[in-house]
Amino acid sequence: MLSKKCKYAIHALVYLAEKYQQGPVHISEIAQKKHIPKKFLEAILLELRKSKVLLSKKGKGGGYYLHQKPSDVNLMDIIRIMDGAIALLPCVSLNYYEKCDECRNEKSCGIRDSFIQVRDKTLSILGGSTLDKILKYEKSMASK
């Protein structure tokens, strides 16, 4: 399961993709529209800014906005920033690998093999899920 923090981050980013190139958006606006606790969202957006996903402008008329085009931001990257590993086992993670105590010979571990498959499929789907595709999907479904 993704953490709430991560889920909030995704929703906030989809909202900012909708407002892409329309100037900075207030935290309060996002919090209200997406039903996210404001103070919590504050910390989330700050984290996304530090990871170069967002840019911000302080002071009056300030707010947050996307650093890149919506087509350059995907769910895989967001989840890794907010929650860390995507793989279901540490010994199978590409970015957050940790050795497993249970098996001596990693290569012959039949458990790993299944989770490597899950990891690769998941990365492929999430890596292809960009903010613009998510928006397009929502607009195509809204008319139905």
Partner DNA sequence: TTATAAATCTATTAATTCTATAGATATTAA
Partner DNA sequence: TTAATATCTATAGAATTAATAGATTTATAA
Q: Return residues touching DNA (CB under 7 A).
A: 3-5, 8, 24-28, 37-40, 42-43, 45-46, 49, 56-64, 83
Q: Is 75 in the site for a copy of itself (CB under 8 A)?
A: yes
Q: Which one, 56 or 133, has the nearer CB to DNA?
A: 56
Q: Torsion over CA of 53, 59, 60 and 61, rounded to 10 degrees?
A: -10
Q: Which of 19, 34, 49, 67 binds a copy of itself (CB under 8 A)?
A: 34
Residue 39, classed as helix, strand or coil, is helix
Q: Residue 69 belongs to what H/E stretch?
A: none
Q: Is 77 in the site for a copy of itself (CB under 8 A)?
A: no
Distance CA 106, CA 94 (A): 15
Q: Minimum distance between the CB of residue 28 and DNA, rounded to whole angstroms?
A: 6
